Amino acid sequence: MRFALFGAVVALVLGSPGPADAHPHVWVTARTMMQFDKDGRVTGVRHTWVFDKFYSATALQGLDTDLDGKYSKAELEPLAAVNISSLKDFGYFTVVKAADAEVALSEPVDYLVEEKAGVVTLAFTLPLTSPIDARLGTLELDVYDPSYYVAFSFAADTPITFAADAPKGCAAKLPQAPKEGNPNDLSESFFSQLGPDSNFGATLSQAARIECAG
Amino acid sequence: MPRGLRQALMGLLLAALCAVLIAPATEGFAQGSPFGVPGAPPAAAPVESGGWFDALGQRFLAVQQRLHRQLGDSIETLKTERAAAGMLVLIALSFGYGIVHAAGPGHGKAVISSYVLANEETVRRGIVLSFVSAIAQALTAVALVGLLAILFNSSGARITGWANTLETASYALIAGLGLYLLVRELLALFRRGSALQHDDRHAHGHHAGHDHDHNCGCGHLHAPPADALKQPVTLKSMAAVVAAVGIRPCTGAILVLIFALAQDLFWAGVAATFVMALGTAITVSALAALAVGSRDFALRYAGAGSGWASTIWTACSLGGAAAIFLLGAVLFAASLGPARPF
């Protein structure tokens, strides 16, 4: 019997399924601003993604072409273009759902990459192919990489905001309070409270519910 | 022990072994969804069940994230007056990061475990393979970043592009190695099979003038498997494992190296990379040792020279080779997917 147990242990360790395969190399703190038209319908989402400093350093490597120690708009433009064009193959890591059905997204617009103290931020707007009235039903917004290579988490403060044209009473609800803010700063208390019931993994996927009551 | 019970136990063990061998091959599927279906939007979140295994996985993720961040902080500390303390912290963190990081695909964990399982390798050989492969991966990462970033000031995208190419080559080599081992095992099995058949004919008196090679010496079902199935353990095939695993630079190491370079502390990145490799090697060694250990335990339990022992050997050899091939093929296919945005 002992060896059967032994074999089972090996199987478990080697075959570790599911989240143990999760292997993020890039961490992103996401903020999203909901965009509206004049009639108060949702027209798109504007993402602002702040990267961890390792990915930031890699992304910036070799881009300071004039070697002035700064990253100008022109120097960062190629990075933004590459990011945006290759994001397409990954569905922009964004899923918008209305009435449990996925909403079609158009090509991103207004994208830019910024650098501040070695940290890279990517911002872009994903228009909905046709506007949706969030007053008629809840919208779901999820930002995540199913392959776990990129670990997304919504920012702790103002994870989801609403543009000026938003109808009154719009609010976003995240499944649980976000555990973190700055990707470069994760508090010790966060880890100490991680127990068997922790839902840290849920930060990989954290569909926000967007409701515009009234 | 009654014969029936013994056989039932052996069946269980074989099932467990099969699970060991097949499981790693699925690892590419688990991580490959965006590669497999280009343009498809991410599927719904798979993370929902709250079993202990998920909790373990999440804890593991959190630990990795924390180590990753503290690693960055410790490199930054090197620029301050607390440089010595920063260095110690950096080494400790890199070591820990390497140990947990090895669980991700591409660090040779499954390949080396399957290889030592399939071949008549000892725990010691498994450990040597793990360490040499890990060091080779570290060297590749350092060479890649040193050459491209320092010498040519290439962009990060270009460096990761090269890393991806090397990764694809690594997976192709792994698949090739698996295929080679599989063909070798099948040929050996076939030879044993025909030798058996030959003996049967002897027993039944059908002396039809066959001129089989009698030097084979393994024509009996109850021949000691250790002699019957012994494969010449060549340095060559071990070198092939090291080459296949080692030409893939660890993505984590590349990130750390470029980050260190950006801080004008490339040497600290190099140090971190090699310490990380040691940590990785320890995890991979442990898994390889576990694989060899359970196989040898099963063999001892089955009794040397028994039919079961022979079956275990065959299962290990064929299954291990097949697992290496499948793993390489799946990861190879996945690595051909669209370029990642970041």
DSSP one-letter string for A81-103 = HHHHHHHGGGGGGEEEEETTEEP
- Cross-strand partners of A140: A97, A209
Mean predicted confidence (pLDDT) in B218-241: 55
Best of B58, B97, B159 to mutate (most A CBs within 10 Å, chain A): B58
pLDDT higher at B220 or B79: B79
CB contact under 8 A, A62 and B158: yes
Q: What is the pLDDT of residue A48?
A: 97
pLDDT(A214) > 90: no
Q: What are the φ and ψ backbone dihedral angles of A121, each rounded to 5 degrees? A: -120, 135
Instruction: Return the top range by mean pLDDT from A26-35, A143-152, B94-103.
Output: A26-35
Q: Which of B3-7, B111-115, B338-342 has the highest mean pLDDT?
A: B111-115
Tokens encoding B19: 């699970």
- Candidate ranges A137-146, A190-199, B10-19, B74-83; pick with highest mean pLDDT: A137-146
Chain B positions in Cβ-Cβ contact with residue A78 (cut-off 8 Å): 155
Q: How far apart are CA B308 and CA B303, in angstroms?
A: 8
Distance from C-alpha of A160 to C-alpha of A208, rounded to nearest angstrom? 8
- Which residues share a beta bridge with A120? A115
pLDDT band at B67 (very low <50, low <70, confident <90, very high): confident
DSSP tag of A20: G
What would the mean pLDDT of B52-73 be, rounded to a whole number?
Answer: 73
Q: What is residue B46's predicted lDDT score, i.e. its pLDDT?
A: 35
Q: Determine, for residues B47 and A191 on separate chains, whether the beta-carbon distance falls below 8 Å.
A: no
Contact indicator for B144, B249 with CB cutoff of 8 Å: yes
Which residues of chain B are within 8 Å of residue A26 when distances are taken between CB atoms?
342
User: Reduced to 3 states, what is the DSSP secondary structure of residue B210?
Assistant: coil
Check if the beta carbon of residue B17 is closer than 8 Å to that of residue B316: yes
User: Is residue B47 within 8 angstroms of chain A, CB to CB?
Assistant: yes
pLDDT at A193 (0 to 100) = 37
In this predicted structure, what is the pLDDT of residue A45? Answer: 97
Sort out which chain A residues have CB atoms less than 8 A from B340's CB and list them: 86, 90, 149
Write the CB contacts of B166 (distance below 8 Å, at least 6 apart in sequence): B140, B144, B247, B248, B249
Alpha carbon distance B91, A40 (integer Å):
55
| Antiparallel, parallel or unpaired: β A170-173 and A139-143 | unpaired
Q: CA dihedral in degrees (B23, B28, B29, B31; nearest 10)?
A: 120
| pLDDT of amino acid B211 | 42
| pLDDT average, residue stretch A40-44 | 94
pLDDT for the residue B2: 57
- Give, as one character, the DSSP assignment of residue B108: S
CA-closest candidate to residue B256, choices B245, B248, B243, B267:
B267
CA atoms within 13 A on the CB side of B17: 29
Closest CA to A22 of B188, B264, B57, B94: B57
State the pairing for strand pair A160-162/A26-36.
parallel
A97, β-bridge pairs: A102, A140
- pLDDT, residue A171, reads 92
Which amino acid belongs to residue B284?
Answer: V
CB A95 within 8 A of CB B42: yes
Sign of dihedral through CA atoms A177, A183, A185, A190? positive
In a mutational test of the B interface, the residue from A9, A13, A49, A61 whose CB has the highest number of chain B CBs within 10 Å is A61
Q: What's the rounded Cα separation, in Å, for the pair A20 and B51? A: 12
Please name the residue that has the structure tokens 């990489």.
A145
Check pLDDT > 90 for residue A181.
no
B105 in Cβ contact with B99 (< 8 Å): no
Is the interface score ipTM higher than 0.90? Answer: no
A200 and B59: CB-CB below 8 Å? yes
Residue B204 has pLDDT above 50, yes or no: no
Lowest mean pLDDT among B1-15, B18-32, B151-165, B223-237: B18-32
The answer to pTM > 0.90 is: no
Is B154–A61 a contact, with Cβ atoms under 8 angstroms apart?
yes
Helix (H) or strand (E) holding B198: helix B156-203
Band (pLDDT 50/70/90 cuts) for residue B14 is low
Which B residues, 121 through 160, put their C-beta within 8 Å of a C-beta on chain A?
149, 153-160
B26 inside 8 A of chain A by CB? yes
Low-confidence winner among A105-109, A183-187, B51-55, B328-332 (lowest mean pLDDT):
A183-187
Which residues of B, range 186-245, sit inside 8 Å of A by Cβ?
Answer: none
Give the C-alpha separation, B112 to B102, whole Å. 12
Who has greater pLDDT, B276 or A177? Answer: B276
Residue B259 has pLDDT above 80, yes or no: yes
Whether the predicted pLDDT of B29 surpasses 60: no
The chain-wide mean pLDDT, for chain A, equals 80
pLDDT of residue B74: 87
Q: State the CB neighbour count (10 A cutoff) for residue A185.
A: 10
Nearest to A3 among B53, B297, B339 (CB): B297
**Position B210 confidence tier, pLDDT thresholds 50, 70, 90:** very low
Residue B207 pLDDT exceeds 60: no
Alpha helices in B204-265 (DSSP H): 225-228, 235-246, 251-262
CA neighbours within 13 Å on the CB side: how many for B52? 1
Chain B residues near residue A201 by CB distance under 8 angstroms: 47, 54, 57-58, 61
Query: How high does pLDDT run on average in chain B?
Result: 76
Share of chain B above pLDDT 70, in %: 70
DSSP string, B8-49: HHHHHHHHHHHHHHHGGGGHHHHH-HHHHSTTPPP-------
Per-residue pLDDT, averaged over B47-58, amounts to: 54
Helix (H) or strand (E) segment spanning residue A77: helix A73-87
Count other Cβ atoms within 10 Å, centred on residue A198: 17
The dihedral sign for the CA sequence B269, A21, A24, B71: negative
| Per-position b or e across B191-225, b if 16+ CB within 10 A of its CB | ebeebeebeeeeeeeeeeeeeeeeeeebbeeebeb
Predicted local distance difference test score (pLDDT) of residue B188: 85
Average pLDDT score over residue span B20-34: 38
More reliable by pLDDT, B338 or A83? A83
Alpha-carbon gap, residue B194 to B196, rounded angstroms? 5
| Contact assessment for residue A22 and residue A95, using Cβ atoms and an 8 Å cutoff | no
pLDDT at A88: 93
Task: Check pLDDT > 50 for residue B254.
Answer: yes
B251 compared with B5, residue with greater pLDDT = B251
d(CA A64, CA A68): 7
pLDDT at site B150: 93
Chain A closest-CA separation from residue B318 CA (Å): 17
Task: Output Rg (C-alpha) for chain A, integer angstroms.
Answer: 20
Query: At A47, is the secondary structure helix, strand, or coil?
Result: strand
